[in-house]
Chain A
Amino acid sequence: MGDGGKPLAARVISVRLERKGFGSAEVLGPVSLDIARGECVALLGPSGIGKTTLLRIIAGLDKDFEGSVERPERLAMVFQEPTLLNWRSALQNIMIVAGLSSDAAQDALEAVGLGNKSGLFPDQLSLGQRRRLALARALAVRPDFLIMDEPFASLDPDRVLAMINLTRTLLAQQPVATLFVTHAREEADRLADRILVLSGQPASLA
């Protein structure tokens, strides 16, 4: 981790985890992680290693750990499942969660190629479309820090590629620090500026 020399202001997120366990089982060991504005960091590791646990700590969803996490106010997350409001239309999903006007939400849908789906409910969209909607929602809040948890899981290989390219295009338009979790090396290679590997028991960064 050669981030110690970076100026503090460029660091959007700073994680100093000492340990995390569930009961007596220690899941995560020491993890030190900084991400700068505009930087996309991939967190790689096999299933079950504790990537999601670490992500939940970083997102502030799990507060039961030893250590400290500094994170910005404006946070957005793309979850493993699209996690949409199934009872609201695609457009409303963005308006409600990101607090946008309908015009701005429509623009966000256009940006992910869902401009003509704004009136549909999430159940009427394909999985790929739901994933794009979740991405549009996350970016619509103009986050300082974006977390993505396996955002391309269970998509066809050619869809994954298209989705990665879309994500890269959109990320380039916003000065956002991104942490992205995956178990697939090639996804990390294509999207990330820097790759960190979580391994060991308890897991730490290698």
Chain B
Amino acid sequence: MSVRKAEPNPAHRALVRLASLGLLLLGWSALAVGVADPETLPGPIFVAGLIVREILDGALLYHVAVTLARVAAAFFLAMSIGLAIGLFMGRRPAADRWLDPWLVVFLNLPALVTIVLCYLWIGLTEVAAILAVAINKIPMVTVLIREGARAFDPALSDMASVFRMPPGKRLRHVILPQLAPYVAASARTGTALIWKIVLVVEFLGRSNGVGFQIHLYFQLFDVPMVLAYALAFIMVMLAVEAFILQPWETAANRWRRA
């Protein structure tokens, strides 16, 4: 891991990112000025004002918190089940041959179908909502973790068995560190997918959360409020990615750059 490609310095990269985002906002503003109707396309400053108003005397924080809790629950459910199945399939070729067609079926099941079926079978409950999101995500975690499990170094497995490392230690110090890049990758793609599905689940069958609020303002044809809720939550998820997932990924890979 000593060879790395040259990268521009971090300050320069951050500057480019900021400038790029600034251009996006500028384009949005220009479009909004062109449309000249805040009810159809409000500008960024208008939406920012709405977000602040909703935070101060509206229910935005409550709905964001509810949605965030659902994202977290679905995330941990999908990650732990996907991790277990992926490890099992990656290590047992016979099981892999049997389970792979199922995986293909579940990978191709549209999110909307799982959500509707979960609500119909289980009812319009929290369990159904979180389960529906998790079912959508589990196959993708499984596929990534299976790749990781196939790439295990057999020499390390030999080492662990010669030295009679107990299963718990083996999992924590031999297996999971080898899986870490794959777990980090599935966690990142996972959150991106999960929060989008959570909004759909809320849209269709919950009475709180960002998705529910978007449904509400959709029925009221209130574009500014739809944008306010959507953007507020996008910012929350970007923050989760930048301040939780990325640092964790960096820490997990610290030894590579040592």
Question: Which A residues are within 8 Å of any B CB, using their own CB?
Answer: 56, 59-61, 75-77, 79, 81, 83, 85-88, 96-98, 120-121, 123-124, 137, 141, 147
Q: Is the CB of B156 within 8 A of A83?
A: yes
Q: Is the CB of A77 within 8 A of B255?
A: no
B196 to chain A, nearest CB (A): 32
Q: Is the CB of A79 within 8 A of B158?
A: yes
* Chain A residue contacts of B162, Cβ below 8 A: 59-61, 75-77, 147
* Chain B residue contacts of A60, Cβ below 8 A: 161-162
**A-contacting residues, B156-200, CB 8 Å:** 156, 158-165, 169, 173-174, 177, 180
Cα separation A88 to B162 with both chains bound (whole Å): 19
Q: Is the CB of B161 within 8 A of A123?
A: no
A104 to chain B, nearest CB (A): 16
Q: Chain B: which residue is nearest A147 at the CB level?
A: B162
* Chain B residue contacts of A79, Cβ below 8 A: 155, 158-159
* Chain A residue contacts of B158, Cβ below 8 A: 56, 59, 61, 77, 79, 83
Q: Is the CB of A96 within 8 A of B173?
A: yes
B129 to chain A, nearest CB (A): 37
A69 to chain B, nearest CB (A): 13
* Chain B residue contacts of A77, Cβ below 8 A: 158-159, 162-163
* Chain A residue contacts of B161, Cβ below 8 A: 60-61
B109 to chain A, nearest CB (A): 36
* Chain B residue contacts of A141, Cβ below 8 A: 163
In the complex, which of the residues B1, B163, B164, B169 has the most CB atoms of chain A within 10 Å of its own CB atom? Answer: B163
Whether a CB of chain A sits under 8 angstroms from the CB of B45 is: no
Q: Apart from A59-B162, A76-B163, list 20 A-B contacts with CB within 8 A.
A: A56-B158, A60-B162, A61-B161, A77-B159, A77-B163, A81-B155, A83-B158, A83-B159, A85-B173, A85-B174, A87-B255, A88-B173, A88-B255, A96-B173, A97-B160, A97-B165, A98-B163, A123-B2, A123-B256, A137-B163
* Chain A residue contacts of B169, Cβ below 8 A: 96
* Chain A residue contacts of B159, Cβ below 8 A: 77, 79, 83, 97
Q: Is the CB of B173 within 8 A of A83?
A: no
B2 to chain A, nearest CB (A): 8
Cα separation A87 to B158 with both chains bound (whole Å): 17
Cα separation A61 to B1 with both chains bound (whole Å): 29
- Sample of 6 A–B contacts (CB below 8 Å): A61-B162, A77-B159, A79-B159, A121-B258, A123-B1, A137-B163
Contact of B258 among A59, A76, A123 (CB under 8 A): A123
**A-contacting residues, B125-170, CB 8 Å:** 155-156, 158-165, 169
Q: Chain A: which residue is nearest B166 at the CB level?
A: A99
Cα separation A59 to B157 with both chains bound (whole Å): 13
* Chain B residue contacts of A81, Cβ below 8 A: 155
Q: Chain B: which residue is nearest A92 at the CB level?
A: B173
B218 to chain A, nearest CB (A): 48
B156 to chain A, nearest CB (A): 6
Contact A86/B163 with A96-B169, A96-B173 known, Cβ cut-off 8 Å: no
* Chain B residue contacts of A61, Cβ below 8 A: 158, 161-162
Q: Chain A: which residue is nearest B172 at the CB level?
A: A96
Contact of B163 among A56, A97, A123 (CB under 8 A): A97
**A-contacting residues, B89-108, CB 8 Å:** none
Q: Chain B: which residue is nearest A86 at the CB level?
A: B255
